[in-house]
Amino acid sequence: MGHVRDRMEADLILAGLSASTRASYIDCARRFVKYWWRSPDQLGERQVRDFLLHLAKERKVAVGTYLVYLGALKFLYGVTLRRPEVVAGIPWPRMRRRRPDVLTRNEVMRVIDAASSRFWFAFFTAAYGAGLRRMEVAALRAQDIDSKAGLIRVTQGKGGKTREVMLDPILLGTLRSHWRIHHLPGPWLFPARARHGWADHPVNLGQASAAFRKAVIAAGIGRHVTLHGLRHAFATHLLEDGVDLYTLQQLLGHDRLETTTRYTLVRTDRIRGTPSPLSKLRSST
């Protein structure tokens, strides 16, 4: 889909979408074309529907993955090919948000301490200590750490947005030790390995997730928790400590406060601290 790909790439840039979103959309469109082995110019609503049904019923992709494919195809036909009628009748699915399985503070400490290397120890500490997504940790550069102001400048946030988060003194010490121990050449704090030293690009995100899974197993955590769980724990633990929702929204980089409020559903400190009427029932007899 050579010429279509180039046009779609240009349209995505003009739409102001981030590099990661552009790459995802282009890849989804490429897979759609490969599925039919025909140019998207020659395909219509029936082929789009059949492909999406294949993803949902046969491949059973996650809802989030399905939404990326749907967004890519709606953009391809609605914007690049200027055939919005092809995708106009295809609905967005209702998303059922899963309740995040939040690690306790003790579990977070156990997982971080169970990291397979000092490199991943620092990576996981940054993810929890600043509430960063894995891609945001991987993209950290030395210049993003402002020790005098006590801030981390997140310049590669979701959607290309930037924000500032707190720089905990313990995290600062961990990052400084990490820099010295690994003799990092800069600018990346978490670069990929090269044959002779370090590469000039961030570590692979899949490797980060795999290292976290190993740490979870080594820590004896029996349930399924992903690397993103450290961000969930960061948010929930701050709420339990009394941080207000607006501040938490800024720290997490959420566009809408509604996205942040879901963390109020998983905090358990108030639940634990609420006495059951059973004790009063027994004491009244």
Per residue in 123-182, pLDDT (tens digit) is 999 999 999 999 999 999 999 999 999 999 998 766 667 899 999 999 999 999 999 999
Q: Are 164 and 151 in contact (CB under 8 A)?
A: yes
The contacts of residue 59 (CB under 8 Å, 6+ apart) are none
pLDDT of residue 162: 85
The contacts of residue 246 (CB under 8 Å, 6+ apart) are 257
Report helix, strand or coil for 182.
helix
Segment holding 165, helix H or strand E = strand 163-166
pLDDT bucket at 224, cuts 50 / 70 / 90: confident
pLDDT bucket at 195, cuts 50 / 70 / 90: confident
The answer on pLDDT for 269 being more than 60 is no
Residues marked active site are found at: 133, 158, 228, 231, 254, 263
Question: How many whole angstroms from its chain centre is CA 225?
Answer: 13
pLDDT of residue 16: 85
pLDDT of residue 1: 64
Report the range out of 11-25, 67-81, 87-101 with the highest average pLDDT. 67-81
In angstroms, the CA 183 to CA 57 distance is 49
Give, to the nearest 10 degrees, the angle between helix 118-130 and helix 205-218. Answer: 90
* Structural class in CATH, domain 2-86: mainly alpha
pLDDT of residue 249: 86
- The domain locations on the chain are 2-86, 105-270
| Average pLDDT across the chain, whole number | 88
Q: Topology of domain 105-270, per CATH? A: hpI Integrase; Chain A (1.10.443)
The answer on pLDDT for 277 being more than 80 is no
